[in-house]
């Protein structure tokens, strides 16, 4: 395909793409072709990420009815010969580069070939081979070598013209399809030059015997007596559950636009963030009301609490150093979703600028979610009950050993929930027989899981009932005036305005049941209060990252539960644009430095959720899902229960066995 043909493929039907729609494969390749045909191209220039350059906000917070918004691509690139990152904005319609920016002193996230090419090169290294022979390993083909991001060892990792590096860790399979993480090679660390694709150094901190038992979980090995735990058969008492919607789903899809009951939104996807939500609105009695302009995962980090040589530097920013979109699973096998499903493909790039399609990267379906509301009048025995339903938009990402599921739930009571599901396989360490790990827990003979945490920061660009919002911290406290609290039972809520960015780093307080609300001071409900949405935490995780550690400065966003900033289109990532192999604090600490005013402003919430993992034997050999997340709920946004108009469920939707009456009711004696 010629350059003209490639660029021409962005005209025609692509001209009608909505300004927030993700780049198509043709647009990705067109952007790469325009750059490689320009004066900026070099033989060693590689594409890191190519994604939509999102247009700036409009006064109406939507692009509906606008036909002249340019389609632009944002490309980040790395030139290993120049040791330089470059950024470009490409106007696809005009076939020109709008901007070209060098970013010195930073390192890129992984290129696609880094994830596959490192293993082969390490296997060929004679120093690594000798270290493996000392452990009794001669069949190097069974080794799994995971290209862990470099972390940060100190100034030697980041000097002028230093290479882009990673620090691979080795695991041994006993057979080609076996669970390799059951046999970690403890104490062996490779330092690998990703620029030259060669081993720089081998650290060997001493031989620890490979763990003796298998840890397989697939059907192929399920009943192997060497497994821990060992089972002899599958359960035979799990009866089928079938999810059917004979009239089809309640949602409609037009390209990337989704409408479901009273919700309307647009879905996006890019290599770094994966799923993004845009222009989220709710129709209330005929009026379309904005709730959130853009929602996305902003960053995540996994700090390990084990000071052993193989584990202490594991501080992976899985989004910023690898990419959630790149890591998305094609949801075509297994049972990731149930029901009437609509899939969206994800399109990313390889390092040459070719488009790569991840089929079914995003799953969307509806779920019954129990009771929405109910009341029984015990005098008349009249019962009113309505069932809750939610729209589920999800993506599951595999980053090495871990699986992360990201789920956005929209409920028919106008609330939004974000949930992260953590599964997959523990990062493991080996330990000599008779020893106990100090910084972790045993999961099987010879195998332990280090103490660690996972933190996920979500960026919520709010526009509650329009532009101009303010954020309040809400605490419940005992009535402070003794004269008004003679029975010592009264309590009130106290609202504290987050007036400027210098006050924008906030912490949760369990003693006061703290939450935060985003209000629109120019819009009032029928009671005269400003309309609002509140952010309510779920499980709050204590931060074990300690001041003085390298990861403390690299991941400052974990030091506070909530950050509030004024909208800036360049501020998208909580730990900054490029944190790989760098020690300094970026992102949110920089964003709040100018102390922008936040009252009646265009505000962005950055909320961090965590998972605190002291491992259990029950987490082995594959983890049951752990859950974390938060909720956004309307507070005075409506004049009453927005789910009041849900229709009753037909009787045929409920099936009973036995002789019980469908409504069981016991009245209390007076």
Here the tokens at position 86 are 């470059």
Nearest-5° angle of CA 629, CA 635, CA 636? 165
Which residue bears the tokens 């007076």?
670
3: tokens are 């350059």
**Are the CB atoms for 370 and 646 separated by under 8 Å?**
no
Give the contacts of 130 (CB within 8 A, at least 6 positions apart): none
Assess whether the previous peptide bond of 89 is cis (omega < 30° from 0): no
Distance from C-alpha of 505 to C-alpha of 663, rounded to nearest angstrom:
50
CA distance 475 to 492: 8
Structure letter (DSSP) for residue 197: T
Q: How far is 406 from 541, CA to CA, in rounded Å? A: 18
Nearest residue to 317 via CA among 574, 140, 615, 98 = 574
CA 477 to chain CA centroid, Å, is 34
Q: CA-to-CA distance for 272 and 299, rounded, in angstroms? A: 9
Catalytic residue among 78, 402, 533, 550: 402
User: How many whole angstroms from its chain centre is CA 211?
Assistant: 33
As a whole number of Å, the CA-based R_g of the chain is: 27
What gap in Å lies between CA 506 and CA 514, rounded to an integer?
A: 10
In the chain, the N- to C-terminal Cα span, in Å, equals 84
Q: Which of 14, 146, 306, 318 is catalytic?
A: 318
* Gap between the Cα atoms of 47 and 29, Å rounded: 11
The whole-angstrom separation of Cα 331 and Cα 664 is: 42
Residues 421 and 443: beta-carbon distance below 8 Å: no
> What is the Cα–Cα distance from 624 to 565, expressed in whole angstroms?
36
CA 194, CA 198: separation in Å to the nearest integer? Answer: 7
Length of the chain: 670
For residue 366, the cross-strand partners are: 391
DSSP label at residue 320: I
Annotation says 495 is catalytic: no
Whether residue 622 contacts residue 449, with contact meaning beta carbons closer than 8 Å, is answered with no
d(CA 150, CA 315): 9
In this structure, how many other beta carbons lie within 10 angstroms of the beta carbon of residue 468?
Answer: 17
Q: How many helices (H) and strands (E) does the chain have?
A: 6, 32
d(CA 134, CA 137): 7
How far apart, in Å, are the Cα atoms of 478 and each of 31, 37, 493? 60, 68, 9
- In the numeric block, which tokens belong to residue 101? 């920016």
Q: Scanning the structure block, which residue is given the tokens 């247009």?
A: 55
| 3-state SS assignment for residue 74 | strand
| Helices 114-124/126-133 angle, 10° precision | 70
**Calpha distance 427→339 (Å, rounded):** 33
Residues 5, 8, 11, CA angle at the centre, nearest 5°? 160
Indicate if 568 belongs to the active site: no
Catalytic positions are 318, 402
């Amino acid at each position: 395909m010629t350059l003209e043909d490639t660029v021409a493929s962005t005209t025609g039907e692509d001209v009608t793409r909505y300004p927030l729609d993700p780049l198509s494969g043709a647009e990705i390749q067109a952007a790469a072709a325009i750059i490689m045909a320009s004066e900026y191209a070099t033989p060693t220039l590689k594409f890191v990420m190519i994604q939509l350059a999102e247009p700036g906000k409009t006064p109406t917070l939507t692009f509906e009815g606008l036909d002249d918004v340019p389609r632009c691509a944002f490309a980040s690139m790395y030139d290993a010969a120049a040791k330089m990152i470059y950024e470009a904005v490409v106007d696809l319609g005009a076939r020109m580069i709008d901007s070209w920016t060098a970013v010195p002193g930073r390192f890129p996230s992984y290129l696609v070939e880094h994830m596959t090419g490192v293993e082969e090169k390490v296997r060929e290294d004679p120093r690594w081979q000798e270290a493996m022979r000392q452990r009794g390993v001669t069949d190097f083909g069974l080794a799994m070598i995971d290209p862990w991001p470099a972390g940060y060892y100190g100034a030697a990792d980041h000097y002028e013209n230093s290479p882009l590096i990673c620090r691979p860790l080795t695991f041994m399979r006993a057979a080609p399809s076996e669970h390799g993480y059951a046999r970690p090679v403890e104490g062996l660390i490779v330092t690998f030059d990703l620029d030259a694709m060669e081993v720089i150094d081998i650290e060997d901190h001493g031989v620890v015997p490979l763990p003796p038992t298998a840890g397989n979980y697939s059907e192929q090995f399920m009943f192997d007596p060497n497994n821990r735990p060992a089972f002899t058969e599958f359960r035979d008492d799990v009866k089928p559950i079938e999810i059917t919607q004979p009239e089809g789903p309640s949602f409609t899809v037009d390209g990337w636009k989704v409408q479901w009951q009273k919700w309307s939104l647009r879905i996006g996807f890019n290599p770094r963030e994966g799923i993004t939500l845009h222009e989220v609105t709710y129709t209330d009695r005929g009026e379309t009301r904005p709730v959130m302009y853009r929602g996305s995962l902003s960053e995540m980090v996994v700090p390990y609490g084990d000071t052993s040589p193989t584990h202490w530097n594991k501080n992976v920013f899985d989004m910023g150093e690898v990419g959630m979109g790149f890591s998305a699973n094609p949801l075509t096998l297994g049972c990731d979703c149930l029901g009437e499903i609509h899939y969206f493909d994800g399109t990313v790039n390889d390092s040459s600028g070719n488009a790569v399609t991840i089929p079914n990267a995003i799953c969307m379906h509806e779920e019954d979610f129990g009771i929405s509301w109910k009341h029984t009048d015990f005098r008349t025995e009249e019962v009113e009950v309505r069932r809750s339903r939610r729209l589920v938009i999800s993506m599951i990402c595999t980053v090495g050993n871990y699986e992360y599921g990201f789920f956005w739930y929209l409920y028919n009571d106008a609330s939004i929930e974000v949930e992260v599901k953590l599964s997959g396989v523990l990062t493991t360490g080996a330990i000599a027989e008779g020893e106990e790990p100090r910084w972790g827990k045993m999961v099987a003979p010879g195998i332990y899981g280090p103490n660690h945490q996972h933190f996920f920061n979500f960026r919520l660009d709010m526009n509650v009932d329009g532009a101009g919002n303010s954020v309040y911290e809400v605490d419940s406290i005992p009535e402070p005036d003794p004269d008004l609290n003679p029975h010592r039972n009264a309590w009130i809520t106290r609202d504290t305005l987050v007036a400027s960015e210098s006050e924008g780093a906030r912490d949760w307080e369990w003693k006061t049941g703290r939450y935060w609300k985003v209000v629109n001071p120019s819009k009032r409900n029928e009671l005269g209060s400003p309309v609002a949405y509140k952010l309510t935490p779920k499980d709050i995780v204590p931060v074990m990252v300690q001041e003085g550690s390298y990861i403390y400065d690299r991941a400052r966003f974990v030091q506070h539960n909530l950050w509030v900033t004024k909208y800036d289109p360049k501020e998208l990532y909580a730990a900054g644009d490029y944190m790989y192999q760098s020690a300094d604090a970026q992102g949110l600490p920089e964003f709040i430095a100018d102390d922008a005013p936040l009252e009646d402003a265009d505000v962005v919430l950055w909320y961090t959720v965590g998972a605190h993992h002291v491992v259990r034997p029950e987490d082995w050999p594959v983890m049951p899902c752990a859950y974390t997340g938060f909720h956004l709920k309307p507070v005075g946004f409506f004049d009453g229960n927005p789910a009041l108009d849900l229709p009753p469920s037909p009787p045929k939707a409920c099936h009973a066995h036995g002789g019980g009456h469908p409504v069981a009711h016991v009245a209390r004696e007076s």
